Structure 1
Amino acid sequence: MTLGAWNHGAYAGYDEELIREQLARNYAFFGEEGMTHIRAGTVVIVGCGGVGSWVAVMLVRSGVSKIRLVDFDYVTLSSLNRHATAGLSDVGTPKVASMERTLKDIARWAEVDCRIDIWRKEDGGRLLEGADWVVDAIDNITTKVDLLKYCHDHGIKVFSSMGASAKCDPTRIQISDISYTIYDPLARSVRRRLRLQGISSGIPVVYSTEVPGDVKLLPLPEEEFQKGPVKELGVFDDFRVRILPVLGPLPSIFGLHISTYILCEMAKKPILNPLPIKNRRKLYERLLRDLLHRESKLTGQIINKLPIDDDDVALIFEDLHRGRSVVPPHPVPSRPTLMRWDPAEPLTLENCVVFEFAEAEKHARELNVWGEAVQQVVDRRSKEIIGYREWTL
């Protein structure tokens, strides 16, 4: 269903001087040439919930004059904690209709094309027609991957949002290529599915490295199971994305990251080499190599692959052990090392801890050397892993 369509007399009836005054701060930042590109650009946003709505608002506030909104869903009361434009009077109405009213109130000259529709790979090209950029803010993983592949195959620039649910730490949010994402369950699933289709990089994403904390998934009503296979509905098996706990500010921060990136790209002032979280990818790779060497030495066999990967190393080092040794007073190691806590048990996330190198050597020589205090730390970390698995397995 189409609520609106492009009105090609974009600025007709609107005073250019007033438009430029409204966009004065953006002109001061991007300059005349940059703003010319931004105002001439067309952005299609697929998924207009907590993330997509904030992208749309900030793009229009910043001068983007053609925007297409694609979403089949309607505003509910539970949408109001995170949606950029919806209010009580919008409950029960299409999300795109709520957004159109707000966007036109912000910038009367903006062309807002609203589509109450679902993007499908079979006929999705019609919804992306004319796009300079596509924003993927879809919460269904199959549709998300289909959209990303379609854009990749057709040379359409696309930016994808990963999971903002069950997160609360804004300092763990960053932009990177899909190939560099670290310990985001949705990003991992998307990355693997794209790789199976021959796409390993070239898609910028916003994601968080934060592992879900002490929050509970909302129960799934029986009638939801009757609607279809629940495993197809999101990255988390047996749970629909829409019933995950969401702290309202986090989707907005994701949306602001996306809009900023796209504006800079459109203005020909790209963000060069977005900063990876703590620049620790090489550290994780080294820790994994060292662990592989230790495992080979422990088992007396040549091991080519471990049951944990780079992402697991990041989880163990950053989230479980906070980048510190398991041994009190838990200093930041100058030469961090991972190894099994109990050499008699298999290597798992629960049975892998962080040591300073000298501590690791001592642990390899002597069992039960650290005492009850360290064992209690290891036990607490194991419980955290169990909680994490409730979200991802």
Structure 2
Amino acid sequence: MARIRKGSVVVVGCGGVGSWAAIMLVRSGISKIRLVDFDQVTLSSLNRHATAVLADVGTPKVRSIEREIKQIARWVEVDARIDIWRKEQGGDLLEGADWVIDAIDNITTKVELLKYCHEHGIKVFSSMGAGAKSDPTRIQIADISDTMYDPLARSVRRSLRLQGVPSGIPVVYSTEVPGDVKLLPLPEEEFQRGNVKELGVFDDFRVRILPVLGPLPSIFGLNAATWILCELAGKPIANPLPTKGRKKLNERLYRDLQHREQKITGQIINKLPFDEDACGLLFDDIHRGRSAVPPHAIPSRPALVRWDPAQPLALGNCVAMEEKDADTHVKECFEGGKRPEEVWGEECAGVVSRRKEEVRRLEEWVL
């Protein structure tokens, strides 16, 4: 407990995720915390912010959290900064931090903060996107290099890798593939008033709202707080649930599909049009871990195979089957010239059609 009390944490981004992390850190014994956020409480944030109430609308988020912290433990040293983190003066806001929590939702600033911390040896824990999610069982902690399916994590991972930071940053994220959700539209009258970009606080910050289910950001924030508390106490979470526990399966699905395509085309194929993670997404999320062939059982040895011989290989033209059924599919449809519906029936074809539509909707989020 003494180690935790001596800890100093900086929370950058004090919305739904950051506010919950900050409050739980204080409740758990942290005695020094800095809150960094330029934004104000809005009506739309009341469903997820840890401390904001109706009277706080229009006031800085950091002030709302600061007020609550003082009511919980008035001896805690709170440094509330109504500011935005910028790499040009990043060191000032992070000075003295044992840990930094990144709860920023702007990808450019997020990547800059993570890179800065990595380059300067500052321990940082990052939260990925909690918006458009609803399944708490899919929330995971992993190194940024091991994240999968999460669109924000994918973008952050790629950007960091290009800038020489391939790994070494723990994150909380969700493996849930977002459903049919979009940024909430602005009322027509806002467009009639003029340039809607002027509604944003900064040029590269969105002015529309992504739907957020209230409990999810709190779970992300509590994961961040728990990780840091364990680290400060000298009891780190040594073996978090392997978020890529199915990595070997995904790799095998990819490799087997690659070999199957080589057999079909008679050519050496060095790379498929999608990666191992996409194979896992197709099997686990699109096909629910089941065969497309009735009665849609869980395959003992799953395989992916191109569905329509007349179309090129793509996620929407690839289905999950038992391996022996995939071999039959190649023999009957690619070598024998039969249509897939002739071999597997209309029910199977209907399932494949619905799965193809799901892929179409999900590609804009994940791929």
Residue in structure 1 matching 2:92, options 123, 126, 130 = 126
Gaps in structure 1 of 5+ consecutive residues: 1-34, 234-239
Match of 2:79 in 1: 113
Alignment of 1:251-290 (within 5 A): 251-277=217-243, 279-290=245-256
Moved more, 37-46 or 308-317: 308-317
Gaps in structure 2 of 5+ consecutive residues: 334-339
Residue in structure 2 matching 1:60, options 20, 23, 26 = 26
Contact 1:54 1:252 in 2 (8 A): yes
Match of 2:163 in 1: 197
> In 1, Cα distance between the equivalents of 2:203 and 2:274?
24
SS in 2 for 1:282: helix
Match of 2:214 in 1: 248
- In 2 relative to 1, CA 316–142 (structure 1 residues): closer, same or farther, beyond 3 Å? same
Contact 1:183 1:314 in 2 (8 A): no
Question: Match of 1:282, as an amino acid?
Answer: K
Match of 1:213 in 2: 179
> In 2, Cα distance between the equivalents of 1:320 and 1:164?
21
SS in 1 for 2:16: coil
Match of 1:304 in 2: 270
Match of 1:101 in 2: 67
Match of 1:381 in 2: 355
Contact 2:15 2:49 in 1 (8 A): yes
Question: Match of 1:364, as an amino acid?
Answer: V
Match of 1:5 in 2: none
C-alpha displacement of 1:311: 2.0
Contact 2:4 2:233 in 1 (8 A): yes
Contact 1:166 1:212 in 2 (8 A): yes
Moved more, 275-284 or 248-257: 275-284
Moved more, 360-369 or 248-257: 360-369
C-alpha displacement of 1:389: 3.1
Matched, 1:166 2:138: no
Match of 2:123 in 1: 157
Alignment of 1:303-322 (within 5 A): 303-322=269-288
> In 1, Cα distance between the equivalents of 2:199 and 2:165?
31
> In 2, Cα distance between the equivalents of 1:86 and 1:224?
27
> In 2, Cα distance between the equivalents of 1:81 and 1:168?
14
Q: What is the aligned-residue RMSD (CA, Å)?
A: 1.7
SS in 1 for 2:34: strand
TM-score, structure 2 normalization: 0.92
- In 2 relative to 1, CA 62–241 (structure 1 residues): closer, same or farther, beyond 3 Å? farther
Residue correspondences, number: 352
Contact 2:10 2:94 in 1 (8 A): yes
- In 2 relative to 1, CA 363–232 (structure 1 residues): closer, same or farther, beyond 3 Å? farther
Contact 1:51 1:252 in 2 (8 A): yes
Contact 2:199 2:207 in 1 (8 A): no
Question: Match of 2:18, as an amino acid?
Answer: G
SS in 1 for 2:129: coil
Question: Match of 1:104, as an amino acid?
Answer: K
> In 1, Cα distance between the equivalents of 2:220 and 2:55?
25
Contact 1:140 1:241 in 2 (8 A): no
| 1:300-355 deviations in Å (ceiling 9; x for gaps) | 11111111012211210111011111111111111110111112211111111111
Moved more, 122-131 or 282-291: 282-291
Moved more, 41-50 or 275-284: 275-284
Match of 2:44 in 1: 78
Contact 2:11 2:101 in 1 (8 A): yes
SS in 2 for 1:265: helix
Matched, 1:225 2:197: yes
Question: Match of 2:211, as an amino acid?
Answer: P
TM-score, structure 1 normalization: 0.86
Q: Tell me the percent identity.
A: 72
Match of 1:294 in 2: 260
> In 1, Cα distance between the equivalents of 2:31 and 2:86?
26
Contact 1:135 1:159 in 2 (8 A): yes
> In 2, Cα distance between the equivalents of 1:374 and 1:284?
23
C-alpha displacement of 1:366: 1.3
- In 2 relative to 1, CA 241–304 (structure 1 residues): closer, same or farther, beyond 3 Å? farther
Contact 1:71 1:118 in 2 (8 A): yes
